[in-house]
Amino acid sequence: MRNFGVLTRYLVLPVLFVITLGAISILATRALLQRNILQETAFKGPQGIDKVEAVKLGGWEQWLLMRGKNKRAPILLWLHDGPGGTSEMVFSRTFEQELAKQFVVVHWDQRGTGKSFRQTLPASSMTLPRMRADLEELVVWLCKRFKQDKIYLVGYAWGSTLGLWYAQKHPKRLHAYIGVSQILDWQQHLKDAYAKVLQQAKKTERKEPLDDLTRIGAPPYRSLASLQVLRRWVAEFGGYFHKAPAFGKMFRASLGSPDYTLGDLVRSNKAYQFSSSLLLLKAIEKIKLGSIQKLDVPVLFVSGRHDTFTSGAQLQHFFQRLQAPKKQMVWFEDSGYAPHREEATRFYKLLMDTLPKLRETPKATPRLPATSRPVSPASRPTPRVVLPTSSPAASRPISR
């Protein structure tokens, strides 16, 4: 007992002191960052909106961040990766300030994600039909809340599976649909990813990745553990982040987000484990959107050239045969799975420049007045030549 008292005095207490001091320092730094970020980014005044708000969707409270310099501006709803993945809400103020001057940018923590996760969330509610129904309810709520008839819808990765489905089913609710790292046939994407990363591993002749990939075999997978092994080596060989994003900037955004509490940040990890264990493998098996041939809404697809998770060949084939009022595909040459983080400036400029053009309705050609005399060929107006949206110009990468 005497030795224990000495140990407590000279070892345990100093360690506890250092830990406490470190925690206080982190909390103080976070409070300072939150204050500074809020002062720099908040939209104030009667015309703007800058608000975190809960809304009930499917009987469950789910959280939104709504930001815009002008609340009468078009709504842009972002669907994050997942299910239960990292919320984009924490990055909004750092990366999307200019975007929020042109749109009302809405980030939604979906059922089972971040702020919208609680231990009491029924496991039975984590289904693909329920997630799609939540999205339907949310769009109706947003249109009513802001007195608008349509919105822009951006879907990233998992979010793109919800977004593309919604664009097909409810085109009249959308100005345009934007698919970022678009997932089509999810199982086939994983098979393509496995083949590519196995080939890369063989070229390097590294034993560990070859052993791991041989052990799990090609998809489909029955366990998340096997999927995580594939993800690990895809990331290792540059198929997730090709060009390292501003990790320091992202860390500062997460730590200093005034829209997320420390509890929300801690809860996010539990949310991912909960949601992915219940829904991810089922969604991979069920989601097959590549058979869609026509959309009655303008579309923009954005993809990283080095993305291994979502096969570029599959997306290119889908885009070429897709019929839509307007369509455009843009490749980001220095990006992998996350072009909006790896080439953030170019990505958000693309949205600001392109979306208003997608929304524009072509002007009708004026009708000539009726005449009883035949019109000679020389006096006929020269027909306008309109390039098809599948022309090479439509899929040309952004100039650097």
Is the pLDDT score of 2 beyond 80?
no
Is the pLDDT score of 92 beyond 50?
yes
Q: What is the pLDDT of residue 376?
A: 41
Higher-pLDDT residue of 365, 150: 150
Q: Which of 206-215, 284-293, 388-397 has the lowest mean pLDDT?
A: 388-397
Is the pLDDT score of 392 beyond 50?
no
Vertex 26, ends 87 and 270: CA angle to 5°? 35
The amino acid occupying position 245 is: P
Residue with tokens 């393509």: 192
| Percent of the chain scoring above 70 in pLDDT | 83
Cα–Cα distance between 12 and 6 in angstroms, integer?
9
At a CB cut-off of 8 Å and minimum separation 6, what does 138 contact? 55, 57, 62, 77, 108
Instruction: Give, as one character, the DSSP assignment of residue 65.
Output: E
Instruction: State the fold for domain 40-185+241-359.
Output: Rossmann fold (3.40.50)
Residue 200's pLDDT band (cuts 50, 70, 90) = very high
Cα dihedral 280, 278, 288, 350 in deg (nearest 10): -50
Residue 37's pLDDT band (cuts 50, 70, 90) = confident
Average pLDDT over residues 153-174: 98
Is the pLDDT score of 373 beyond 50?
no
Average pLDDT over residues 211-234: 96
Is the pLDDT score of 221 beyond 60?
yes
Cα–Cα distance between 5 and 201 in angstroms, integer?
55
Q: Which of 23-27, 147-151, 387-391 has the lowest mean pLDDT?
A: 387-391
Strand extents, DSSP E, 112-255: 151-156, 174-180
Is the pLDDT score of 384 beyond 50?
no
Average pLDDT over residues 226-252: 88
Q: What is the pLDDT of residue 337?
A: 93
Q: What is the pLDDT of residue 251?
A: 83
Is the CB of residue 242 less than 8 Å from the CB of residue 80? Answer: no
- H/E element, 52: strand 49-57
Q: What is the pLDDT of residue 382?
A: 39
Candidates 313, 345, 342, 344; CA nearest to 329 is 313
Average pLDDT over residues 196-214: 94
Q: What is the pLDDT of residue 12?
A: 58
Residue 1's pLDDT band (cuts 50, 70, 90) = low
Residue 387's pLDDT band (cuts 50, 70, 90) = very low
Query: SS3 of 274, please?
Result: helix
Is the pLDDT score of 367 beyond 60?
no
Is the pLDDT score of 364 beyond 80?
no
Cα–Cα distance between 171 and 179 in angstroms, integer?
14
Q: What is the pLDDT of residue 327?
A: 97
Q: What is the pLDDT of residue 370?
A: 46
Question: Residue 329's beta-bridge partner residues?
Answer: 301
Q: What is the pLDDT of residue 375?
A: 42
Which residue intervals of the chain bear CATH 3.40.50.1820? 40-185+241-359
Residue 104's pLDDT band (cuts 50, 70, 90) = very high
Q: What is the pLDDT of residue 18?
A: 59
Cα–Cα distance between 59 and 227 in angstroms, integer?
32
Higher-pLDDT residue of 294, 19: 294
Residue 113 corresponds to which tokens in the numbers above?
């994600």
Residue 394 corresponds to which tokens in the numbers above?
């439509």
Is the pLDDT score of 388 beyond 50?
no
Q: What is the pLDDT of residue 362?
A: 52
Instruction: Kindly report each contact of residues 85-88 with a partner whose C-beta sits within 8 Å and lies 24 or more positions away, as own/partner.
Output: 85/113, 85/157, 85/158, 85/272, 86/268, 86/272, 87/113, 87/114, 87/115, 87/260, 87/268, 88/156
Average pLDDT over residues 174-190: 97
At a CB cut-off of 8 Å and minimum separation 6, what does 7 contact? none
Mean pLDDT, rounded, of the chain: 86
